[in-house]
Amino acid sequence: MKHRPSPAEKNRPSPAEKNRPSPAGKNRPSPAGTDPARSAALQTLAAVRERGAYANLVLPGLLREARLKGRDAAFATELTYGTCRAQGLLDAVIENASGRSTADIDGPVLDALRLGVYQLLRTRVGAHAAVSETVDSVKETSGRGASGFVNAVLRKVSRDDEDTWVARVAPPAADDLLGHLAMQYAHPRWIAEAFWESLRANGINSMGQLQALLASDDARPPVHLVARPGEISADELALIVEGEIGRLSPYAVYLPGGDPGALEPVRDGLAGVQDEGSQLVARAAAVAPLEGADAGRWLDLCAGPGGKAALLGALAAIDGARVDAVEPAEHRAELVRKAVTGLPVDVHVADGRESGLEPGYDRVLVDAPCSGIGALRRRPEARWRKQPSDVEGLAVLQRELLTAAAALTRPGGVVLYATCSPHVAETLGIVGDDDLLATAGLERIDTRPLVPETDLALGDGPHVQLWPHLHGTDGMFFQALRKR
Protein backbone atom coordinates (compact mmCIF):
# COMPACT_ATOMS: atom_id res chain seq x y z
CA MET A 1 0.00 0.00 0.00
CA LYS A 2 1.28 3.43 -0.93
CA HIS A 3 2.14 5.59 2.05
CA ARG A 4 -0.29 8.52 2.44
CA PRO A 5 1.22 11.55 4.16
CA SER A 6 -0.46 12.72 7.33
CA PRO A 7 -1.55 16.39 7.67
CA ALA A 8 1.55 16.99 9.80
CA GLU A 9 3.79 15.51 7.10
CA LYS A 10 2.09 17.62 4.41
CA ASN A 11 2.87 20.78 6.37
CA ARG A 12 6.41 19.76 7.31
CA PRO A 13 9.03 21.81 5.43
CA SER A 14 11.14 19.99 2.89
CA PRO A 15 14.92 19.88 3.48
CA ALA A 16 15.32 22.64 0.88
CA GLU A 17 12.68 24.82 2.56
CA LYS A 18 14.09 24.19 6.03
CA ASN A 19 17.55 25.31 5.02
CA ARG A 20 16.54 28.23 2.80
CA PRO A 21 17.31 31.65 4.30
CA SER A 22 14.14 33.48 5.36
CA PRO A 23 13.14 36.59 3.46
CA ALA A 24 14.94 39.64 4.78
CA GLY A 25 13.27 41.08 7.84
CA LYS A 26 10.88 38.19 8.43
CA ASN A 27 11.49 36.89 11.95
CA ARG A 28 15.15 37.62 11.42
CA PRO A 29 17.34 39.88 13.58
CA SER A 30 18.93 42.05 10.88
CA PRO A 31 19.13 45.62 12.16
CA ALA A 32 20.45 48.22 9.74
CA GLY A 33 23.46 49.15 11.84
CA THR A 34 24.62 45.62 12.52
CA ASP A 35 27.91 44.50 11.02
CA PRO A 36 27.08 42.34 7.94
CA ALA A 37 29.12 39.39 9.24
CA ARG A 38 27.33 39.43 12.62
CA SER A 39 24.01 39.89 10.84
CA ALA A 40 24.60 36.78 8.71
CA ALA A 41 25.59 34.85 11.82
CA LEU A 42 22.48 35.97 13.72
CA GLN A 43 20.20 35.09 10.82
CA THR A 44 21.73 31.63 10.59
CA LEU A 45 21.42 31.05 14.33
CA ALA A 46 17.75 32.03 14.10
CA ALA A 47 17.16 29.56 11.26
CA VAL A 48 18.85 26.79 13.26
CA ARG A 49 16.76 27.55 16.34
CA GLU A 50 13.41 28.25 14.67
CA ARG A 51 13.12 25.46 12.13
CA GLY A 52 15.97 23.04 12.72
CA ALA A 53 18.00 24.23 9.74
CA TYR A 54 21.61 23.22 9.21
CA ALA A 55 24.06 26.07 9.63
CA ASN A 56 26.37 24.86 6.87
CA LEU A 57 23.48 24.94 4.39
CA VAL A 58 21.96 28.29 5.41
CA LEU A 59 25.07 30.42 5.91
CA PRO A 60 26.58 30.18 2.38
CA GLY A 61 23.40 31.61 0.85
CA LEU A 62 23.40 34.50 3.30
CA LEU A 63 27.04 35.22 2.56
CA ARG A 64 26.26 35.38 -1.15
CA GLU A 65 23.25 37.65 -0.55
CA ALA A 66 25.36 40.02 1.55
CA ARG A 67 28.29 39.72 -0.91
CA LEU A 68 30.64 38.86 1.93
CA LYS A 69 34.01 37.49 0.88
CA GLY A 70 37.48 37.01 2.27
CA ARG A 71 37.99 38.01 5.89
CA ASP A 72 34.37 39.12 6.36
CA ALA A 73 33.04 35.75 5.17
CA ALA A 74 35.59 33.94 7.34
CA PHE A 75 34.56 36.00 10.37
CA ALA A 76 30.86 35.27 9.79
CA THR A 77 31.66 31.57 9.43
CA GLU A 78 33.70 31.47 12.63
CA LEU A 79 30.98 33.30 14.59
CA THR A 80 28.24 31.03 13.28
CA TYR A 81 29.87 27.63 13.50
CA GLY A 82 31.71 28.44 16.71
CA THR A 83 28.51 29.58 18.43
CA CYS A 84 26.65 26.48 17.25
CA ARG A 85 29.41 24.13 18.43
CA ALA A 86 29.72 25.77 21.85
CA GLN A 87 25.99 26.17 22.52
CA GLY A 88 25.86 24.00 25.65
CA LEU A 89 28.74 25.82 27.30
CA LEU A 90 27.38 29.22 26.24
CA ASP A 91 23.96 28.40 27.67
CA ALA A 92 25.46 27.31 30.98
CA VAL A 93 27.34 30.61 31.20
CA ILE A 94 24.25 32.63 30.23
CA GLU A 95 22.12 30.90 32.85
CA ASN A 96 24.74 31.44 35.54
CA ALA A 97 25.25 35.10 34.65
CA SER A 98 21.57 35.93 34.20
CA GLY A 99 19.94 33.76 36.86
CA ARG A 100 17.45 32.61 34.22
CA SER A 101 16.90 29.43 32.28
CA THR A 102 17.60 29.85 28.58
CA ALA A 103 14.10 28.39 28.01
CA ASP A 104 12.70 31.61 29.53
CA ILE A 105 14.67 33.94 27.23
CA ASP A 106 13.05 35.16 24.01
CA GLY A 107 14.53 33.37 20.98
CA PRO A 108 16.11 36.34 19.12
CA VAL A 109 17.52 37.66 22.40
CA LEU A 110 19.00 34.25 23.17
CA ASP A 111 20.61 34.10 19.70
CA ALA A 112 22.24 37.48 20.32
CA LEU A 113 23.38 36.47 23.80
CA ARG A 114 24.96 33.26 22.55
CA LEU A 115 26.78 35.15 19.84
CA GLY A 116 27.93 37.83 22.26
CA VAL A 117 29.16 35.35 24.87
CA TYR A 118 30.98 33.37 22.19
CA GLN A 119 32.76 36.54 21.06
CA LEU A 120 33.73 37.38 24.64
CA LEU A 121 35.04 33.93 25.56
CA ARG A 122 36.35 32.41 22.35
CA THR A 123 37.42 35.17 19.94
CA ARG A 124 39.80 38.08 19.91
CA VAL A 125 36.99 40.59 19.46
CA GLY A 126 37.39 43.32 22.09
CA ALA A 127 34.97 43.12 25.02
CA HIS A 128 33.66 46.64 24.44
CA ALA A 129 32.89 45.95 20.77
CA ALA A 130 31.29 42.57 21.50
CA VAL A 131 29.03 44.04 24.18
CA SER A 132 28.08 47.26 22.40
CA GLU A 133 27.34 45.65 19.02
CA THR A 134 25.21 42.95 20.63
CA VAL A 135 23.32 45.44 22.79
CA ASP A 136 22.66 47.75 19.84
CA SER A 137 21.31 44.94 17.69
CA VAL A 138 18.98 43.73 20.46
CA LYS A 139 17.77 47.28 21.15
CA GLU A 140 16.68 47.66 17.53
CA THR A 141 15.03 44.25 17.21
CA SER A 142 13.66 43.60 20.71
CA GLY A 143 13.49 46.95 22.51
CA ARG A 144 15.21 48.76 25.37
CA GLY A 145 14.15 46.33 28.08
CA ALA A 146 15.73 43.36 26.31
CA SER A 147 18.86 45.35 25.46
CA GLY A 148 19.31 46.32 29.09
CA PHE A 149 19.09 42.68 30.11
CA VAL A 150 21.62 41.68 27.46
CA ASN A 151 23.95 44.50 28.50
CA ALA A 152 23.91 43.36 32.13
CA VAL A 153 24.56 39.71 31.25
CA LEU A 154 27.39 40.41 28.81
CA ARG A 155 29.14 42.85 31.15
CA LYS A 156 29.07 40.21 33.87
CA VAL A 157 30.43 37.58 31.47
CA SER A 158 33.17 39.93 30.27
CA ARG A 159 34.73 40.17 33.73
CA ASP A 160 36.20 36.66 33.50
CA ASP A 161 37.83 34.51 30.84
CA GLU A 162 36.68 31.15 29.48
CA ASP A 163 38.72 29.05 31.92
CA THR A 164 37.20 30.88 34.88
CA TRP A 165 33.70 30.43 33.56
CA VAL A 166 34.29 26.73 32.85
CA ALA A 167 35.48 26.27 36.43
CA ARG A 168 32.28 27.97 37.58
CA VAL A 169 29.71 26.09 35.49
CA ALA A 170 31.31 22.65 34.96
CA PRO A 171 31.38 19.78 37.49
CA PRO A 172 34.60 19.89 39.55
CA ALA A 173 37.35 17.97 37.76
CA ALA A 174 38.42 16.30 41.02
CA ASP A 175 34.94 14.77 41.45
CA ASP A 176 33.80 14.26 37.86
CA LEU A 177 36.59 14.59 35.32
CA LEU A 178 34.52 13.30 32.41
CA GLY A 179 31.70 15.75 33.13
CA HIS A 180 34.19 18.58 33.50
CA LEU A 181 35.83 17.78 30.16
CA ALA A 182 32.45 17.51 28.44
CA MET A 183 31.52 21.03 29.55
CA GLN A 184 34.99 22.45 28.91
CA TYR A 185 34.94 21.26 25.29
CA ALA A 186 31.23 21.89 24.72
CA HIS A 187 29.88 18.34 24.38
CA PRO A 188 26.75 16.78 25.87
CA ARG A 189 27.83 14.45 28.63
CA TRP A 190 26.35 11.36 26.95
CA ILE A 191 28.50 11.91 23.85
CA ALA A 192 31.64 12.30 25.97
CA GLU A 193 30.68 9.04 27.70
CA ALA A 194 30.18 7.31 24.32
CA PHE A 195 33.62 8.50 23.18
CA TRP A 196 35.20 7.22 26.39
CA GLU A 197 33.50 3.82 26.07
CA SER A 198 34.69 3.51 22.46
CA LEU A 199 38.25 4.58 23.28
CA ARG A 200 38.42 1.90 25.98
CA ALA A 201 36.85 -0.72 23.67
CA ASN A 202 39.66 0.08 21.24
CA GLY A 203 42.38 -0.35 23.86
CA ILE A 204 42.83 3.35 24.73
CA ASN A 205 42.40 3.87 28.47
CA SER A 206 43.83 7.35 28.95
CA MET A 207 41.65 10.27 30.05
CA GLY A 208 44.26 12.42 28.34
CA GLN A 209 43.24 10.79 25.06
CA LEU A 210 39.60 11.60 25.77
CA GLN A 211 40.56 15.21 26.44
CA ALA A 212 42.52 15.36 23.18
CA LEU A 213 39.57 13.85 21.29
CA LEU A 214 37.07 16.32 22.75
CA ALA A 215 39.42 19.23 22.07
CA SER A 216 39.87 18.14 18.44
CA ASP A 217 36.13 17.71 18.06
CA ASP A 218 35.58 21.21 19.44
CA ALA A 219 37.92 22.84 16.91
CA ARG A 220 37.11 24.05 13.42
CA PRO A 221 38.03 21.16 11.08
CA PRO A 222 40.23 21.48 8.01
CA VAL A 223 38.71 21.09 4.56
CA HIS A 224 39.57 17.80 2.85
CA LEU A 225 39.31 17.46 -0.92
CA VAL A 226 39.13 14.22 -2.88
CA ALA A 227 40.82 13.97 -6.27
CA ARG A 228 38.66 11.91 -8.63
CA PRO A 229 40.66 8.79 -9.64
CA GLY A 230 41.19 8.53 -13.36
CA GLU A 231 40.75 12.29 -13.82
CA ILE A 232 43.32 13.99 -11.62
CA SER A 233 45.93 12.87 -9.09
CA ALA A 234 46.27 14.16 -5.55
CA ASP A 235 49.68 15.60 -6.54
CA GLU A 236 48.15 17.57 -9.40
CA LEU A 237 45.22 18.74 -7.30
CA ALA A 238 47.50 19.88 -4.48
CA LEU A 239 49.54 21.96 -6.92
CA ILE A 240 46.46 23.59 -8.42
CA VAL A 241 44.80 24.52 -5.10
CA GLU A 242 48.08 25.09 -3.21
CA GLY A 243 47.10 22.41 -0.74
CA GLU A 244 48.84 19.60 1.10
CA ILE A 245 48.70 15.94 0.06
CA GLY A 246 46.78 13.78 2.55
CA ARG A 247 48.47 11.41 4.96
CA LEU A 248 46.16 8.40 4.63
CA SER A 249 44.06 8.44 1.46
CA PRO A 250 45.89 8.47 -1.91
CA TYR A 251 43.18 10.84 -3.18
CA ALA A 252 43.16 13.36 -0.30
CA VAL A 253 44.32 16.96 -0.36
CA TYR A 254 44.13 19.29 2.63
CA LEU A 255 42.92 22.76 1.71
CA PRO A 256 44.56 25.58 3.68
CA GLY A 257 41.53 27.88 3.53
CA GLY A 258 39.00 29.61 1.33
CA ASP A 259 35.78 28.45 -0.32
CA PRO A 260 36.28 25.00 -1.88
CA GLY A 261 33.26 25.53 -4.12
CA ALA A 262 35.11 28.35 -5.86
CA LEU A 263 38.00 26.10 -6.91
CA GLU A 264 38.15 25.26 -10.60
CA PRO A 265 38.78 21.48 -10.10
CA VAL A 266 35.72 21.30 -7.84
CA ARG A 267 33.55 23.28 -10.26
CA ASP A 268 34.69 21.05 -13.13
CA GLY A 269 33.93 17.82 -11.26
CA LEU A 270 37.58 16.73 -11.04
CA ALA A 271 37.53 16.97 -7.24
CA GLY A 272 35.05 17.17 -4.41
CA VAL A 273 34.83 17.98 -0.73
CA GLN A 274 35.08 14.77 1.29
CA ASP A 275 36.62 13.89 4.64
CA GLU A 276 39.70 11.71 4.29
CA GLY A 277 38.13 9.04 6.49
CA SER A 278 35.17 8.73 4.13
CA GLN A 279 37.59 8.35 1.23
CA LEU A 280 39.26 5.45 3.03
CA VAL A 281 35.89 3.74 3.48
CA ALA A 282 35.02 3.89 -0.22
CA ARG A 283 38.52 2.78 -1.19
CA ALA A 284 38.40 -0.17 1.23
CA ALA A 285 35.16 -1.37 -0.35
CA ALA A 286 36.85 -1.28 -3.77
CA VAL A 287 40.11 -3.05 -2.84
CA ALA A 288 39.03 -5.64 -0.23
CA PRO A 289 40.24 -9.09 -1.32
CA LEU A 290 37.61 -11.39 -2.81
CA GLU A 291 37.49 -15.14 -3.15
CA GLY A 292 37.05 -15.74 -6.87
CA ALA A 293 37.09 -13.25 -9.74
CA ASP A 294 35.53 -9.81 -9.47
CA ALA A 295 32.70 -9.80 -11.99
CA GLY A 296 32.29 -6.03 -11.61
CA ARG A 297 28.96 -5.96 -9.77
CA TRP A 298 29.33 -3.44 -6.95
CA LEU A 299 26.65 -2.01 -4.66
CA ASP A 300 26.37 1.04 -2.41
CA LEU A 301 23.37 0.15 -0.27
CA CYS A 302 23.06 3.49 1.58
CA ALA A 303 24.28 5.94 -1.03
CA GLY A 304 22.90 9.38 -0.11
CA PRO A 305 24.09 12.07 -0.45
CA GLY A 306 26.58 10.49 -2.88
CA GLY A 307 30.15 11.27 -1.84
CA LYS A 308 31.23 7.66 -1.35
CA ALA A 309 29.16 6.53 -4.36
CA ALA A 310 31.08 9.01 -6.53
CA LEU A 311 34.48 7.78 -5.36
CA LEU A 312 33.37 4.15 -5.65
CA GLY A 313 32.06 4.89 -9.15
CA ALA A 314 35.35 6.46 -10.20
CA LEU A 315 37.25 3.41 -8.98
CA ALA A 316 34.71 1.13 -10.68
CA ALA A 317 35.30 2.96 -13.97
CA ILE A 318 39.01 2.20 -13.74
CA ASP A 319 38.35 -1.48 -12.96
CA GLY A 320 35.63 -1.94 -15.56
CA ALA A 321 32.95 -2.44 -12.90
CA ARG A 322 29.51 -0.90 -12.43
CA VAL A 323 27.86 0.32 -9.22
CA ASP A 324 24.24 0.19 -8.14
CA ALA A 325 23.51 2.98 -5.64
CA VAL A 326 20.45 2.67 -3.40
CA GLU A 327 18.82 5.60 -1.59
CA PRO A 328 15.25 5.58 -0.20
CA ALA A 329 14.60 9.36 -0.25
CA GLU A 330 14.02 10.92 -3.66
CA HIS A 331 15.63 14.27 -2.79
CA ARG A 332 18.78 12.49 -1.57
CA ALA A 333 18.73 10.19 -4.59
CA GLU A 334 18.82 13.31 -6.76
CA LEU A 335 21.94 14.43 -4.88
CA VAL A 336 23.49 11.03 -5.66
CA ARG A 337 22.63 11.40 -9.36
CA LYS A 338 24.36 14.77 -9.48
CA ALA A 339 27.41 13.43 -7.63
CA VAL A 340 27.90 10.46 -9.99
CA THR A 341 27.31 12.22 -13.32
CA GLY A 342 29.42 10.58 -16.00
CA LEU A 343 30.31 7.57 -13.86
CA PRO A 344 29.18 3.91 -14.21
CA VAL A 345 26.63 4.25 -11.40
CA ASP A 346 22.90 3.43 -11.55
CA VAL A 347 20.79 5.10 -8.85
CA HIS A 348 17.78 3.26 -7.39
CA VAL A 349 15.17 4.87 -5.14
CA ALA A 350 14.49 2.03 -2.72
CA ASP A 351 14.79 0.89 0.88
CA GLY A 352 18.11 -0.94 1.25
CA ARG A 353 16.41 -3.58 3.37
CA GLU A 354 14.06 -4.46 0.49
CA SER A 355 15.85 -3.13 -2.59
CA GLY A 356 14.47 -5.67 -5.05
CA LEU A 357 17.93 -5.98 -6.63
CA GLU A 358 19.25 -9.26 -7.99
CA PRO A 359 21.69 -10.95 -5.54
CA GLY A 360 25.23 -11.83 -6.56
CA TYR A 361 27.21 -8.66 -5.89
CA ASP A 362 30.97 -8.90 -5.54
CA ARG A 363 31.28 -5.88 -3.29
CA VAL A 364 28.67 -4.20 -1.09
CA LEU A 365 29.22 -1.01 0.87
CA VAL A 366 26.92 -0.47 3.86
CA ASP A 367 27.60 3.08 4.99
CA ALA A 368 24.83 2.70 7.53
CA PRO A 369 22.63 5.52 8.84
CA CYS A 370 23.99 6.29 12.29
CA SER A 371 24.05 8.85 15.08
CA GLY A 372 26.86 10.67 13.29
CA ILE A 373 28.68 11.56 16.50
CA GLY A 374 32.01 10.88 14.80
CA ALA A 375 31.46 13.82 12.42
CA LEU A 376 30.26 16.43 14.90
CA ARG A 377 33.11 18.79 14.09
CA ARG A 378 31.69 19.21 10.56
CA ARG A 379 28.07 19.60 11.74
CA PRO A 380 28.30 22.36 14.32
CA GLU A 381 24.76 22.27 15.73
CA ALA A 382 24.30 18.49 15.57
CA ARG A 383 25.65 17.58 19.01
CA TRP A 384 22.88 19.53 20.74
CA ARG A 385 20.10 17.89 18.71
CA LYS A 386 21.00 14.26 19.13
CA GLN A 387 19.74 12.11 22.01
CA PRO A 388 21.01 8.81 23.46
CA SER A 389 17.65 7.26 22.55
CA ASP A 390 18.46 7.77 18.86
CA VAL A 391 21.09 5.04 18.98
CA GLU A 392 18.80 2.15 19.92
CA GLY A 393 16.53 2.55 16.90
CA LEU A 394 19.48 3.05 14.59
CA ALA A 395 21.12 -0.15 15.81
CA VAL A 396 18.03 -2.11 14.73
CA LEU A 397 18.18 -0.51 11.27
CA GLN A 398 21.92 -1.17 11.01
CA ARG A 399 21.43 -4.87 11.73
CA GLU A 400 18.67 -5.11 9.14
CA LEU A 401 20.78 -3.38 6.50
CA LEU A 402 23.77 -5.60 7.19
CA THR A 403 21.57 -8.69 6.92
CA ALA A 404 20.13 -7.44 3.62
CA ALA A 405 23.62 -6.70 2.31
CA ALA A 406 24.77 -10.21 3.12
CA ALA A 407 21.81 -11.66 1.21
CA LEU A 408 22.79 -9.60 -1.86
CA THR A 409 26.46 -10.65 -1.74
CA ARG A 410 27.78 -13.70 -3.60
CA PRO A 411 29.78 -16.34 -1.73
CA GLY A 412 33.36 -15.11 -1.50
CA GLY A 413 32.25 -11.51 -1.94
CA VAL A 414 32.80 -8.74 0.59
CA VAL A 415 30.53 -6.48 2.61
CA LEU A 416 32.12 -3.36 4.04
CA TYR A 417 30.18 -2.07 7.05
CA ALA A 418 30.88 1.55 8.01
CA THR A 419 29.54 4.30 10.25
CA CYS A 420 30.57 7.90 10.95
CA SER A 421 30.07 7.10 14.61
CA PRO A 422 32.44 5.41 17.06
CA HIS A 423 29.55 4.53 19.41
CA VAL A 424 30.07 0.93 20.51
CA ALA A 425 26.39 0.05 19.98
CA GLU A 426 26.68 1.08 16.32
CA THR A 427 30.10 -0.42 15.63
CA LEU A 428 31.42 -3.37 17.63
CA GLY A 429 27.90 -4.03 18.86
CA ILE A 430 26.95 -4.82 15.25
CA VAL A 431 29.97 -6.44 13.59
CA GLY A 432 31.11 -7.97 16.86
CA ASP A 433 27.85 -9.93 17.22
CA ASP A 434 28.86 -13.48 16.32
CA ASP A 435 25.26 -14.68 16.17
CA LEU A 436 24.28 -11.93 13.74
CA LEU A 437 27.24 -12.66 11.48
CA ALA A 438 26.67 -16.41 11.61
CA THR A 439 23.03 -15.99 10.62
CA ALA A 440 24.03 -13.66 7.77
CA GLY A 441 26.82 -16.00 6.63
CA LEU A 442 29.55 -13.40 7.18
CA GLU A 443 33.01 -13.59 8.72
CA ARG A 444 35.30 -10.76 9.79
CA ILE A 445 38.53 -10.17 7.88
CA ASP A 446 41.38 -7.90 8.92
CA THR A 447 40.48 -4.47 7.62
CA ARG A 448 43.68 -2.65 8.59
CA PRO A 449 45.60 -3.70 5.43
CA LEU A 450 42.90 -1.94 3.40
CA VAL A 451 44.25 1.39 4.66
CA PRO A 452 47.35 2.51 2.70
CA GLU A 453 50.57 2.03 4.63
CA THR A 454 50.92 4.59 7.40
CA ASP A 455 52.87 5.14 10.58
CA LEU A 456 49.65 6.16 12.35
CA ALA A 457 48.34 3.49 14.72
CA LEU A 458 45.25 1.60 13.56
CA GLY A 459 44.70 -0.48 16.70
CA ASP A 460 44.50 -4.23 17.16
CA GLY A 461 41.82 -4.83 14.49
CA PRO A 462 40.27 -6.57 12.76
CA HIS A 463 38.25 -3.36 12.30
CA VAL A 464 39.51 0.18 11.74
CA GLN A 465 38.46 3.02 14.04
CA LEU A 466 39.69 6.46 12.99
CA TRP A 467 39.83 9.44 15.38
CA PRO A 468 40.03 13.20 14.78
CA HIS A 469 42.83 13.67 17.31
CA LEU A 470 44.91 10.69 16.14
CA HIS A 471 44.31 10.51 12.40
CA GLY A 472 42.97 13.96 11.51
CA THR A 473 39.77 12.46 10.07
CA ASP A 474 36.20 12.19 11.23
CA GLY A 475 35.53 9.37 13.68
CA MET A 476 34.93 6.74 10.98
CA PHE A 477 34.56 3.04 11.75
CA PHE A 478 34.71 0.27 9.14
CA GLN A 479 34.91 -3.51 9.11
CA ALA A 480 35.30 -5.79 6.08
CA LEU A 481 33.23 -8.99 6.14
CA ARG A 482 33.46 -11.92 3.73
CA LYS A 483 30.41 -13.91 2.66
CA ARG A 484 31.08 -17.55 3.41
Q: Could you count the other beta carbons within 10 Å of the beta carbon of residue 109? A: 21
Q: Which amino acid is at 447?
A: T
CA angle 246, 252, 258 (to 5 degrees): 95
Q: Positive or negative, the Cα torsion across 140, 146, 151, 156?
A: negative
H or E segment to which residue 255 belongs:
strand 252-255
303 is annotated as contributing to ligand binding: yes
Q: Which residues of 384-406 are buried (b: 16+ CB within 10 A; e: fewer)?
A: bebeeeebeebbebbbebbbbbb
- Please compute Rg for the chain using Cα positions: 24
For residue 7, whether the previous peptide bond is cis, meaning omega lies within 30 degrees of 0, is no
308 is annotated as contributing to ligand binding: yes
230 is annotated as contributing to ligand binding: no
CA atoms within 13 A on the CB side of 199: 21
99 is annotated as contributing to ligand binding: no
Residue 416: partners with Cβ closer than 8 Å, 6 or more residues away: 281, 284, 285, 288, 363, 364, 365, 366, 478, 479, 480, 481
Transcribe 364-433 into DSSP letters: EEEE-----GGGGGGSTTGGGT--THHHHHHHHHHHHHHHHHHHHEEEEEEEEEEES---GGGTHHHHT-
Asked if 180 contacts 170 with a C-beta cutoff of 8 angstroms, the reply is: yes
CA angle 458, 455, 202 (to 5 degrees): 20
107 is annotated as contributing to ligand binding: no
Active site residues: 420
Residues 377 and 217: their CA atoms lie apart, in Å, by 5
Helices (H), 242-388: 264-267, 276-287, 307-319, 330-339
Backbone angles phi, psi at 318, to 5 degrees: -65, -40
CA angle 303, 308, 312 (to 5 degrees): 105
305 is annotated as contributing to ligand binding: yes
CA atoms within 13 A on the CB side of 259: 18
Asked if 216 contacts 199 with a C-beta cutoff of 8 angstroms, the reply is: no
306 is annotated as contributing to ligand binding: yes
Backbone angles phi, psi at 224, to 5 degrees: -105, 130
304 is annotated as contributing to ligand binding: yes
Annotated binding site for S-adenosyl-L-methionine: 302-308, 327, 351, 367
Annotated binding site: 302-308, 327, 351, 367
